[in-house]
Structure 1
C-alpha cells in the first residue's frame, strides 16, 4: 500500500472516530404503560421529560454526549415492567427513569438492586419507595399518603363530613387508603363506606349504589384514570352530584378527556405548582419549551419535566463519562438543588426529594384550577 493510500485510510479512520465521538450517547431507560389504563398520563409525563432532555441535547448534551431516552411499553403489567427493566439494564442504561405506577415500580426493584441501577423520578407516590429508603430509587414527588390525607382535610374544611372511599385492590390503593385514614383520624371522621375496586375492571354496579344509598357528599376514588373517569360517569348517570376527588396520578389532560362532559368540578390532588404559576422559574421554562413544540402544559407534563431536570443535574455532577455508580453518588450528594422555585435534596437516609402537595379542581374549560 503506497503512502498516499495510507494517508487516505488514516484520514478516513479519523473521520469515523470523530463522527463516533460526536454521536456518543448516554443511555437512559424507561419502562411504563404507554398502552393500557394509564397510557394518557404516561404520554404526558414522558412529553414533559423530553422537553428538558431535548433542550439539553440541543445545547450540546452533557460533556458533549447526547442523552438518549429508550422507552419500552409495559402495558401497566408488573411482570412486563421487570422484564423491560432487565433488558434496559443489559443494554447499558446508566439509569432507569420515569416508571409509572406502584405495582410496576415495585416489580423493578430487584432489577435495580441486582444491576446497581439508579431509578430517577418514578411516577408514583408509593410509600414503599420512600420508607424504608430504597437505595437505588430517587423520588421527585410527594407520597400518595400525603395527598390522600390532604384531600380528606380539605373536604373537612369545606364542611363535608360524609365521605366515601373507593380504592384499587392493589398496593397503590392500599397505600392511598392508609393516607386517607390518617386524614379521617385527624378530622375525627369515619368514612361512610370503604370499597375495594378491581384494578383493571371495576364493577361499578357494586360500587356506586352503596355510596348513593349512604347519601355521601363526596367520594375519594383512588384508582387509574380510566377507572375513576368511568366511576364519575356512573355517578352522573345515576343523577348524583356527589363530589369526586382523586389523586395526582390522574393529573393529566388525558384524564380530563376521558371524563368528557363530566369533567367540571372533579377535584385532583397535585404534587407540583400550577402550570400557570409563573412565579416559579420552572413553570416559565417549561411553558416556553412547550409552546415551541405546540404542547399544552399540564400537571403531568410538569412532573416529567421536573424529573428530567433532576436526572440531568445528577448526570452533570457524575463526571465526564457518567456510570451508574457515579450517578448514584452524585444524586445522594444533591442538596437543595433549585428546580426553579422548588428545592430538591437527597441523602443516604432520604430519597424523597420533594414534599409539595396541593389541590385543584377541573373548570369549565377542562383546566386544573387551584
Structure 2
C-alpha cells in the first residue's frame, strides 16, 4: 500500500483501540433498542486486520470508513450518524466469535462486515446465539446461505457462483478436466460438492479433488503435481489457502506442466503479487467491478470518496467491497425506517430489492441472495487485472 508504515500503524491503533467515532456509546447502550439513539446507530464489525499485517483486511476497513464518511456527510440514516465499532480477530475464528459476543454485550445494533470464511462463520454463530442480525459477511462460504440463515444477509456473490464462472470460461476454451484445491474441512467439502455439481451441469468430467490440511509438506505438493499429471487435468482452481496454492503453482511450472491456473476473488491480488511473472495470464473471478476503472456509478463514487478519505493507498478490490458493503448497510437501515428495531430490520430485508449506485441486491424470505455479480479478470504482463 502507498501509505507509509508509521501513519498506517497510527491509523490502525486509533481505529481499533479507540473505535470509530464512539462518543456517547455508553448512552447508546442504555436505549430500549440496543445501538440506537436519537443521534446515532452503532454497528459492530469484526474483521481480520491482524494488526496491519493483513493488507486485504486493512484495505477493506478503509473502504468501509470511506463509505461511512459519505453516508454521514449526506445526513446519515434518517438523521442518525452511522458509527462502526471495530474489533480485530487476528484471522482466528474462536477470537472472532468471542469478539462478536463482546460487541453485542457492548450494545451494538447489529454485526457487520467480517472477512474470510472461518471468522465469518464464527461471527454468524454468535449472531444466531444472540438473535442479532449479521449484515454483509465478506466471504463466499455456502454455510452463510444454506440452509437459510434468517439473520444473515450477504452482499457479495458466493463462491458457488465463482466456481461456475471459472468452469464456464475454461469450457469456452475446450477444457473438460478440472482439479479443485480445497481445505479438508466441512466447509471445504461443501465447496467441493458445489464444484462437482457445476462440472456435471456444464458437461465436465468429475473434478479431481485435492484436499489439504493446515500443514502441507513439500512431499505432499510433489504428490499433488503427480496426481494432476496422471489425471491429465487441464484446469485447476482453489478455494482459499493461497500460500499452498502458490507453492503448487510454482511446482507445476517447475515440472513443466502447462495446466491453466485459475482462482476465486479471495486473496487474488496477494496471490498475483507473490507469484510475479508466474501469475501472468491467470484468470480470477471478482465479486465487484474493477476498482481502477470508472465504468460504473459505484466505482466512480468509490474512487471519489476513497481518495478523499485516503490520499495515498491504492484502489483495491478489498476497499471497494468494504465501501459497497457499508453503503448497502446504510440503504438497508434507511428502508427499515426511523423506528428502528432488529426485528424490523430483518423483516424489511426479507422482501427487499434495491440498488447501491447501480449495483443490484435482492433478498427474499426463502433466500438471502444479495448480489449475483461475478466478473472475470485476467492478470496482464504488467501485473494488473484486466476485466
Could you tell me which residue of structure 2 aligns to residue 5 of structure 1?
A: none
Indicate the SS of the match to 1:360.
strand
Is 1:280 the counterpart of 2:296? The answer is yes
Deviation of the 1:298 alpha carbon: 2.5
Could you tell me which residue of structure 1 aligns to residue 359 of structure 2?
A: 342
Indicate the SS of the match to 1:233.
helix
Aligned length: 351
Deviation of the 1:192 alpha carbon: 6.3
Report matched runs for 1:111-150 at 5 Å: 111-150=126-165
Counterpart of 1:231 (choices 248, 253, 265) is 248
Deviation of the 1:366 alpha carbon: 2.2
Q: Does the CA-based 8 Å contact 2:136-2:325 persist in structure 1?
A: yes
Moved over 6 A (4+): 20-23
Deviation of the 1:321 alpha carbon: 6.3
Deviation of the 1:201 alpha carbon: 4.8
Q: Does the CA-based 8 Å contact 1:220-1:245 persist in structure 2?
A: yes
CA distance in 2, matches of 1:150, 1:184: 11
Deviations 1:145-194 (A, max 9, x none): 12112211211111123322211222442233122212221233225632
Is 1:32 the counterpart of 2:32? The answer is no
Deviations 1:204-243 (A, max 9, x none): 3443332245443321122233333333333334444432
Over 3 Å counting, the alpha-carbon distance change for 1:238 and 1:32 in structure 2 is farther
Counterpart of 1:325 (choices 339, 343, 347) is 343
Is 1:151 the counterpart of 2:166? The answer is yes
Q: Which runs of 5+ in 1 are unaligned?
A: 1-15
Is 1:301 the counterpart of 2:319? The answer is yes
CA distance in 2, matches of 1:234, 1:186: 31
Q: Which runs of 5+ in 2 are unaligned?
A: 1-22, 29-36
Could you tell me which residue of structure 2 aligns to residue 169 of structure 1?
A: 184
Over 3 Å counting, the alpha-carbon distance change for 1:322 and 1:225 in structure 2 is farther
Could you tell me which residue of structure 2 aligns to residue 94 of structure 1?
A: 109
Deviation of the 1:312 alpha carbon: 0.7
Could you tell me which residue of structure 1 aligns to residue 34 of structure 2?
A: none
Could you tell me which residue of structure 1 aligns to residue 333 of structure 2?
A: 315
CA distance in 1, matches of 2:215, 2:325: 27
Could you tell me which residue of structure 1 aligns to residue 5 of structure 2?
A: none
Over 3 Å counting, the alpha-carbon distance change for 1:24 and 1:206 in structure 2 is farther
TM-score, with structure 2 as normaliser? 0.81
Is 1:242 the counterpart of 2:259? The answer is yes
Indicate the SS of the match to 1:248.
coil
Over 3 Å counting, the alpha-carbon distance change for 1:362 and 1:28 in structure 2 is same
CA distance in 2, matches of 1:192, 1:306: 34
Deviations 1:240-299 (A, max 9, x none): 443211112234x33332333322122111222333553421111112223332333333
CA distance in 1, matches of 2:70, 2:189: 38
Q: Does the CA-based 8 Å contact 2:101-2:126 persist in structure 1?
A: yes
**Structure possessing the higher radius of gyration over alpha carbons:** 1
CA distance in 2, matches of 1:329, 1:142: 22
CA distance in 2, matches of 1:311, 1:159: 41
CA distance in 1, matches of 2:193, 2:270: 27
